[in-house]
Structure 1
Amino acid sequence: MLKTKKILVTGGAGFLGSHLCEQLLKSEHEVLCVDNYFTGNKANILHLLDNPRFELMRHDVTFPLYVEVDEIYNLACPASPIHYQHDPVQTTKTSVHGAINMLGLAKRVGAKILQASTSEVYGDPSMHPQREDYWGNVNPIGVRSCYDEGKRCAETLFFDYHRQHSLRIKIMRIFNTYGPRMHPQDGRVVSNFIVQALKGEPITIYGDGSQTRSFCFVDDLVKGMISLMGSADEFVGPVNIGNPNEFTIKQLAEVIIDQTGSKSELVFNPLPSDDPKQRRPDISLANSELNWFPQIELEEGVSKTIEYFRKIV
């Protein structure tokens, strides 16, 4: 019989966090959702508020938190360029101070803790696809560095707590993820294209559209996250969680135009600074250690995401 755990999810009112909270509740766990609503939205978790095993707390992880929990999923951090560049100092603080505070909490209460890291730790990669043993090609002083280097430093802190204090840690590197509850103004390519297509506006492509991304549907991502947390203590990661099927940005735009029936035209603008040309995970480690494979193809996932955005746009 599954043991009920008390589980803390930081950033729990965000896009990924709300889906994670929902899935943990389905597994009969008690969930403490913590968010400061910088990018999270209470609407994402309104349907969970009546559940007696769900608790919501407004809190900023850059300040210490004193609670009793068995596991911690540390997801708190703005994850889209528009949001993390809005207040870059706070973004770095959220990654670094947030990691210190959550690691300190895990150490005090003996909790297992998972860090939601990112494929951005690889920067603009010279290895393709990206494996976990690749150290990355990151600009430490660019406009995206607050996010990239903040997440890299958080990984360092997690491993140092693991080595120095024998803390039970898990690190996952999340690749492009999409699905219902994405913020319509988060500036990410899937939400941007869907909103523009539904409004009949020109679809804005940065560069010539030949840069590639791999898109993982949120349900697959959450399953990978929970599998990692439940894996043997000896396996700490980092492990890539993402969909290895690679598409150009132009191909994504064409899929969305087709599925929305939009008459939007493609418009090409200059590529932003430090925007990676390629992004595709090598998920061999997730396959072998977690028996995890993404199940939902782009066309199916985009269809579910469009259905969500039709209701809110």
Structure 2
Amino acid sequence: MEVKSVSRILNPPVPHMVGDGFRVHTFFPGGYDINMSPFFLMDYGSKINFSARKDPRGVGIHPHRGFETVTIAYHGAIAHHDSAGNCGTIYPGDVQWMTAASGILHKEYHETQYSLTGGPFQMVQLWINLPAKDKLGKPKYQAVKQSEMVSVDLPDEGGKIEIIAGNYQGIKGNANTFSPINVYNARLNKGGKAHFSFPENFNTGFMVIEGAIKINGSEKADVNHFIYFENTGTEIEIEALENTVVLVLNGEPINEPIAHYGPFLMNTEAEIQQAISDYNQGKFGYLDE
């Protein structure tokens, strides 16, 4: 079995604000020209302290069509409402998995109690593309609480792998997906090692959320850096140089045309125009401010 080599270790791009509640580094598609399909976008909110505030910060009502948004909380608390009637709050370790599909309105903001006290805030938001056949399906919402998350303990008290989606060593995570993907939180104790075996053609990237790791016994990646792997080989080993959290992203590419405009991710320009028309006609539902 051949090692999957590191292609690049990427520095965090210059951060920008999404609304007034999310300071993010967009690693892709804007920050770096890398192919992580079916993951279309990754906004990484590195750790920041927000001051206490009565009115919660966040992002107001906005539409989506043609993909899924996946929000993973590491510090702080994030609330969600959408026009399909779904709502929820995620706390550190929890995940919100929203399938926009045919179209949805939603808003995301700091949870009320967190907003009143302030404190550290850290999160990741992914946009996961949907295959063409699923882009106009019914919207849905999956709440994946850390307390209910399937995990695999690593040898020698090295830590554990939390399986958000996909499977690790044959153990399946809770989230349902539309194409083959693996999303894990690898929570490693200092000196702990984790081994991954992925199909050669799947796109793979690791985001170092906390700590630092050595990859395949050689290259080092520090906190807030993204490791982008080659599409050759299958085997990856990481070793924690201190207590570490790594977000693992791996998936089979969706080899279909992409048309992207703002919050819409479709296959053709005509479908983008239809999405804009449907949104303007109120076909994405209604959501209170």
State whether TM-score is above 0.5. Answer: no
The structure with higher relative contact order (CA 8 Å, sep 6+) is 2
Q: If each structure's strand is expressed as a fraction of its own residues, which one has the higher value?
A: 2
TM-score by length of 1: 0.28
TM-score by length of 2: 0.29
